[in-house]
A and B are shown apart, each in its own frame.
Chain A
Amino acid sequence: MSQTTERSDSDSESDSSREEEEEAPPTVKIPTRKTEVPSAVPVKFQAVIKYHTDQGFRPLLCAFRNLQWRDFANRGRWHMFWANVANARALFQPGQRYYFNDDQLVNHYQSCYQLSRKDNMTKNIKKFRMEMAHLKDPIGKKDRHGNFLYLDLIAPTYLLPFDFNTFLTDFKKNGGLYIVKPCSGSQGQGIFLVNQLDQAKRWQEKALAEIAACVQDNEGYQGYLISRYIANPLLIDGKKFDLRIYILVTSFKPLRCYYYRQGFCRFCATRYSPDVGNIDDKFMHLTNVAVQKQKKGYNRSHGNKWSLKAFRLYMERVYGRGKIDSLFDKIFWMIVQSLRSVQSLMDNDRHCYEMYGYDCLIDAHLKPWLLEINASPSLEDSTPVDRVIKTSLLSDTMRMALYERCPHLLGMKEKRPDASDMPLGDYEILYLEEPAPKLTPAERVKKANLGRYGSTSGPLQAPPLAPQDRPRWNSM
């Protein structure tokens, strides 16, 4: 009988795999998508890996537990330090630089603020596109009005007080709504919408006064940004939202970056209306979770967050797959170019990696705008889904960082040249500057036929995309 033979087949399979399992510690770990399908290359950590952290977020601790790492507890040396920006940068203080061993990693670059401070990001992107235009690089092309065709990543932004005059010309030409943000603020604090010149002037005066005070006290000053407000955001259910996408950078030179599949959209609670009368309603205009939380009736079970996957599914239904593919291509293009803009500024320390949280807004014409890059995205778990996403995000991040920098800690003698042993988890390769070999046609066919299950039971999937694999960007 076919039934019995099949059964005995599966028998022998399950037996052999059961033997493997014996060694695993008996704690119950609920399998998730990535780990539950047995991979051909079992990821086992050779040494005991010790972590150190200065943060107590639950997803972080859960991630360490899932990875089965130990707290270094101030004894010996840590392998992985999950630090806040200040503590990480303290390790690199000139004169008091921490003496790193080969197998020690920290989660920030010394110069991560080049992207994460809003003013630096703006400056760097502006500088980068000037350079490209100057070098006659095709991506630096401009249209008739002098707008960049491919590097139009951020809304026109001016630094107060220095760029006030350029702002004035822009304002006189276009008018409309502008948004003022403190350069190093976060969580939506100190953000205002302005639509009249005298309001903008007041901010300019404030910025000047602050500068004067800082010169006196010989301190750093904060400064403000004023940028054009994107008044026609894409609305779903009448509400404004932005996307949070996680990006892992393991090296800037050559640029190696990955995006995480599981991001989310953050929705406003109030329906959007472009009326000027509402410009003070931050629940309508600011999508930050920290802002929305203050609203009465904030829903704790979903926290106004929608998973990126659901978003994509819905958008494909509404706009068709072609448009949404190109939207995501544009987003990834934006991310890669923003990283390229700081490539030369980053200290390429081999003990560092960085997980950025990108905020991007989509307008009604399906064009993404880069709002801000967070070097230390929130790790709070405000909803149950949040916790699941962030836990797996952190463990995947740290595993990838180890793979890139100290693969021997993962029990690998050497990385495979085709990177087929990457413990990607839910990461996907965004851009690797070194080209890597592609799958052979036979392998492609096999994968397509077996569906997802077939592909995951083989060696870890997602062969690296060489830069030339994404030519669609240029056709934008």
Chain B
Amino acid sequence: MLHCVIPQPKRSATHPPPRPHLSDQPFYGFRNSIRQHIDAKTKVTSQKTTALGRSISKSTPTTTTSSTSNRYRPSLANPPRPKAKLILKAKPEAAVKAPINTVGCGDAAPKEPACKKPTVDRSNRRLLRPYRRSLPLLPLLTRSYPALSVRLLNQSVRREKTGRLERLLQAHLEPAANAVKWAWPNESTLQAHVDFLNIRWRLQLEKALARAAAGSSSAGTLHRQRTLEESRFMWSSWASLDDVSLFQDQLRDIEPLYTLKDLTKRIMEFPVPEEWCADSSATAKSNISYWLHCPLPLPDWDELRGTFVELSPLYDNYCADYFEEDYKEVQDARDGRLNRVLKRRDVLSAVKLCRLGCSASNRDATWSLILRDKTQEEAQYKRLLAEFVRWEVFLDWVMLQSVMDTVGNAEQFFNFVTQMQQVMQLFQRDPAVVERLEVGLLLEPLGVEGEEADQNGDEPRHPKAVSDRTSPYPPNGVIPFHEMSMYAGPLAYVCIRTKPCYFMFREFYCRYFQFLHHLSTHPQSILPMYALFENLLHSREQSVWEHLRVKLAVHPAKYVVPWLTMAFSSFIEIDQLLVLWDRIVGFGDLRVLVLLALGIFILRGKVLLKCKTSREAGAVLSDILNVEVVPLLQLALFT
């Protein structure tokens, strides 16, 4: 009886009309269909609710490519002054249409759909104004970062520029810290806020990076050309990168820049208005944030069921159980079908079959057909290898250590340490990644001057070079977190050799994983996904939700966010994980992760209800190694 009275989530009143659904659109059968779907979705959202933050986030990279090289020549002597004109140029609509449609606050107030014509509300303008004015300035300020050596970055930048930045940020953070008192009635204000926090985070990371580099044996050099001997040595140790004793000197004081825990904490302590979690007073006092009533447009059950219709028990889903009675016969039939499709190189059918799951032996071929473009790979791989031999990036050492500590200690992956080291080393210096980053790169990446490159008369090595003398740092634009290599680990079971494994990983990262560890309001990124999780859990298992929140004071984010952020890698058994990733590739939709998390909560709901302390609940939620993916997805969606 507990489920009978389910209050409709309050946001539904202000909820924008459901977006046109994926399955309504004609399905594109070519390679990039999934990419386009995601793009289409983003476009729809950003059109409907004019998104300040989003437009900035999307526009920044484009502005930089088009206009930076002649406009901002980074020089420390005269720090660039913010130019208001530029901002307008960069994103006219963002500045003009900055949505200020605040609709009062609290539960009773929201009456207007978010997509209505923005109305100006003076009370909230105060909050927005400083933000609007300075947010686009931040990239300008940071352009002065291309401190060629970290020493510069450390001394002058930290003291002068970052001091200013710091003060600027402080001005904005003050309201943010008090945000609990305010209502954020619509998505775009949230977006702005998220982007803002993101920038702050990026600055912190860059500083941490500089500090780490300064403290390490590389003495502050972020990026340099290797000497001939070093190059030879690196080349000879390419096949034995798992042997860290070779690099003892370099690895001495290396520590991860940030970890999964930091990411989780950021979300748990994300300042949100009280109203979002207004259905009980118990949490109002704590500084933990809940996302139940956040104004993001979230899909409802019908939409989810429509998106993931192939998961329903009516379809013949493959769940990788070798011990099933009929495993062999079913699998033979399925393999036959998939092999025919692969032979024809029929992407459309491959995607459809991939949604039902692939088998271990043809997963590689299927995923490659859907995701990879093999034409350029050979040349790119060679170039990356050459870069590995020639250039030393400080983050290499951080990464080497991280891979040893994560993949090297994981029961599922320890046999693939060498391969993972190679993959991550290549990843660090791949300029193709930076072009495809969509979230988390609100700031232009840190620039590094190619000192040596000049002497050799090389052309700028990266297409995204900030000027012809500097190139983004790290070359792929991603400041790695400690557990990042766990994204690549499972792919070792799919692609046996380093080269295909690397390109598969790059596709996975650029299409999916980049959304999982950056704060953003992109519907596939971690914040909306976690908000979706809370909503679904609240509507499905309200008793569990309440029990956890009120009685035990357990924040589900503590467990769920790591699952989602890592796409469950290393949390569940590898065969099941690949079955799950089949669905990610097939549907091109990361929300399947949310469904699995929900399934786990439903499955363990009864046990959770019996828990009397938060420790017990923690024990129930922290061990999910044995879950089975397909039954749980079905349980979450179709029961």
Partners in one complex: yes
CB of A36 closer than 8 Å to a CB of B? yes
**Closest chain A CB from B292 CB (angstroms):** 18
Given that A307-B573, A310-B412, A385-B411 are known contacts, is A463 also in contact with B325, CB under 8 Å in the complex? Answer: yes
Do the beta carbons of B411 and A302 come within 8 Å of each other? Answer: yes
* Most B Cβ at <10 Å: residue of A17, A237, A299, A312: A237
Given that A8-B3, A32-B626, A449-B313 are known contacts, is A317 also in contact with B496, CB under 8 Å in the complex? Answer: yes
Do the beta carbons of B302 and A2 come within 8 Å of each other? Answer: yes
**Closest chain A CB from B248 CB (angstroms):** 13
Do the beta carbons of B6 and A7 come within 8 Å of each other? Answer: yes
| CA gap between A29 and B607 in the complex, in Å | 8
Do the beta carbons of A28 and B573 come within 8 Å of each other? Answer: no
Given that A448-B326, A451-B317, A451-B630 are known contacts, is A317 also in contact with B493, CB under 8 Å in the complex? Answer: yes
Q: Which residues of A contact B630 (CB under 8 A)?
A: 451-453
Bits for B1-33, please: 1 = Cβ < 8 Å to A, else 0.
Answer: 111101000000000000000000000000000
Do the beta carbons of A444 and B326 come within 8 Å of each other? Answer: yes
Bits for A18-55, please: 1 = Cβ < 8 Å to B, else 0.
Answer: 10010000101111110011000000000000000000
Instruction: Spot the interface stretch: B358-366, B383-391, B452-460.
Output: B358-366
Name the residue on B nearest A449 (C-beta): B316
Q: Which residues of B contact A428 (CB under 8 A)?
A: 323
| CA gap between A445 and B330 in the complex, in Å | 10
CB of B635 closer than 8 Å to a CB of A? yes
How big is chain B's contact interface, by range? 35 or more
Do the beta carbons of A453 and B331 come within 8 Å of each other? Answer: no
Bits for B461-501, please: 1 = Cβ < 8 Å to A, else 0.
Answer: 00000000000000000000000000000000110100000
CB of A305 closer than 8 Å to a CB of B? yes
Given that A299-B414, A451-B313, A451-B317 are known contacts, is A8 also in contact with B4, CB under 8 Å in the complex? Answer: yes
**Closest chain B CB from A427 CB (angstroms):** 10
Do the beta carbons of B604 and A312 come within 8 Å of each other? Answer: no
Do the beta carbons of B628 and A325 come within 8 Å of each other? Answer: no
Picked from B3, B302, B325, B335, the residue with its CB within 8 Å of the CB of A11 is B3
- A-contacting residues, B396-419, CB 8 Å: 408-412, 414-416, 418
- A-contacting residues, B611-636, CB 8 Å: 611, 616, 619-620, 623, 625-628, 630-632, 634-635
Do the beta carbons of A447 and B411 come within 8 Å of each other? Answer: no
Instruction: Spot the interface stretch: A173-181, A183-191, A454-462.
Output: A454-462
Q: Which residues of A contact B494 (CB under 8 A)?
A: 317
Given that A2-B302, A451-B634, A452-B319 are known contacts, is A36 also in contact with B359, CB under 8 Å in the complex? Answer: no
| CA gap between A451 and B574 in the complex, in Å | 18
CB of B261 closer than 8 Å to a CB of A? no
Do the beta carbons of B604 and A31 come within 8 Å of each other? Answer: yes
Q: Which residues of B contact A463 (CB under 8 A)?
A: 325
Picked from B335, B603, B639, the residue with its CB within 8 Å of the CB of A321 is B335
**Closest chain A CB from B581 CB (angstroms):** 13
Picked from A37, A261, A314, the residue with its CB within 8 Å of the CB of B493 is A314
CB of B321 closer than 8 Å to a CB of A? yes
Do the beta carbons of A10 and B639 come within 8 Å of each other? Answer: yes
| CA gap between A56 and B317 in the complex, in Å | 44
Bits for A53-77, please: 1 = Cβ < 8 Å to B, else 0.
Answer: 0000000000000000000000000
CB of A6 closer than 8 Å to a CB of B? yes
Name the residue on B nearest A12 (C-beta): B1
Do the beta carbons of B623 and A10 come within 8 Å of each other? Answer: no
CB of B324 closer than 8 Å to a CB of A? yes
Given that A37-B631, A451-B319 are known contacts, is A313 also in contact with B3, CB under 8 Å in the complex? Answer: no
CB of A130 closer than 8 Å to a CB of B? no
- A-contacting residues, B511-530, CB 8 Å: none
Bits for A404-428, please: 1 = Cβ < 8 Å to B, else 0.
Answer: 0000000000000000000000001
Q: Which residues of B contact A30 (CB under 8 A)?
A: 607, 619-620, 623
Do the beta carbons of B322 and A312 come within 8 Å of each other? Answer: yes
Picked from A26, A237, A314, A451, the residue with its CB within 8 Å of the CB of B418 is A237
Q: Which residues of B contact A462 (CB under 8 A)?
A: 323, 325
CB of A476 closer than 8 Å to a CB of B? no
Q: Which residues of B contact A33 (CB under 8 A)?
A: 626-628
Name the residue on A nearest B300 (C-beta): A3
Q: Which residues of B contact A21 (CB under 8 A)?
A: 606
Name the residue on B nearest A38 (C-beta): B606
Q: Which residues of A contact B335 (CB under 8 A)?
A: 321
Do the beta carbons of A313 and B493 come within 8 Å of each other? Answer: yes
Do the beta carbons of B631 and A325 come within 8 Å of each other? Answer: no
**Closest chain A CB from B242 CB (angstroms):** 9
Do the beta carbons of B574 and A310 come within 8 Å of each other? Answer: yes
Name the residue on A nearest B305 (C-beta): A2
| CA gap between A462 and B324 in the complex, in Å | 7
Bits for B356-379, please: 1 = Cβ < 8 Å to A, else 0.
Answer: 000111011000000000000000
| CA gap between A452 and B628 in the complex, in Å | 8
Do the beta carbons of B325 and A461 come within 8 Å of each other? Answer: yes
Q: Which residues of B contact A321 (CB under 8 A)?
A: 331, 335, 359-361
| CA gap between A314 and B495 in the complex, in Å | 10
Q: Which residues of A contact B493 (CB under 8 A)?
A: 310, 313-314, 317
Name the residue on A nearest B634 (C-beta): A453
Do the beta carbons of A28 and B620 come within 8 Å of each other? Answer: yes
CB of B153 closer than 8 Å to a CB of A? no
CB of B437 closer than 8 Å to a CB of A? no
Do the beta carbons of B360 and A313 come within 8 Å of each other? Answer: yes
CB of A316 closer than 8 Å to a CB of B? yes
CB of B265 closer than 8 Å to a CB of A? no
| CA gap between A191 and B123 in the complex, in Å | 82
CB of B233 closer than 8 Å to a CB of A? no
Name the residue on A nearest B320 (C-beta): A313
| CA gap between A439 and B325 in the complex, in Å | 10
**Closest chain B CB from A319 CB (angstroms):** 8
| CA gap between A73 and B331 in the complex, in Å | 51
Could you list some 18 contacts between A and B, CB below 8 A?
A3-B301, A7-B6, A11-B2, A28-B607, A37-B631, A237-B418, A261-B323, A299-B408, A299-B409, A306-B414, A309-B574, A313-B574, A314-B360, A317-B493, A317-B496, A325-B328, A388-B623, A447-B325
* Residue positions of B touching A, CB distance < 8 A: 1-4, 6, 301-302, 313-314, 316-317, 319-326, 328, 330-331, 335, 359-361, 363-364, 408-412, 414-416, 418, 493-494, 496, 573-575, 578, 603-604, 606-607, 610-611, 616, 619-620, 623, 625-628, 630-632, 634-635, 639
